[in-house]
Amino acid sequence: MASIKGRGTSPEKSVRSCLRRLGVRFRGNVENLPGTPDFVIQGQKKAIFVHGCFWHGHKGCRRSERPETNRPFWDKKIDGNIARDRRNLRELKKEGWKVLVIWQCQIKDESKIMQRLLRFAEK
């Protein structure tokens, strides 16, 4: 698992590309905020997370099916990620941040992602 990247993933690159094409100014991987959001629109206090369906347990997504082997390990790992994500979102919202979560499986439809990002950035 040490070779699993946490930054600069393909889904992140896709979202970064969309934000740039929309002309949205952002900072990436802001470490001083809860959960280290993948993208932050600083002046508007908006944070964007790009979650991998498997690692973050996207409900109802075929990519989030857990392996049958070593099931207790994977249940503990992924359930811990889900709990941490909820905690981080709650903390950000408490501090007045608006949060958008984009799932890996949603990125395949770029036009919908562009629309979501545009609506989120404009509000």
Residue 110 lies in a domain: yes
Residue 3 lies in a domain: no
Pairing of strands 98-103, 46-51: parallel
- Over residues 62-120, the pLDDT tens digits come to 999 999 999 999 999 999 999 999 999 999 999 999 999 999 999 999 999 999 999 99
Range of the domain at 63: 10-122
- Over residues 46-64, the pLDDT tens digits come to 999 999 999 999 999 999 9
CATH number at residue 71: 3.40.960.10
Determine the Cα–Cα distance for residues 117 and 16; give it in Å rounded to an integer.
10
Instruction: Provide the domain count of the chain.
Output: 1
pTM of the model: 0.90
Residue 90 lies in a domain: yes
What phi-psi label fits residue 51: left (phi over 0), alpha (psi between -120 and 50 degrees) or beta? Answer: beta
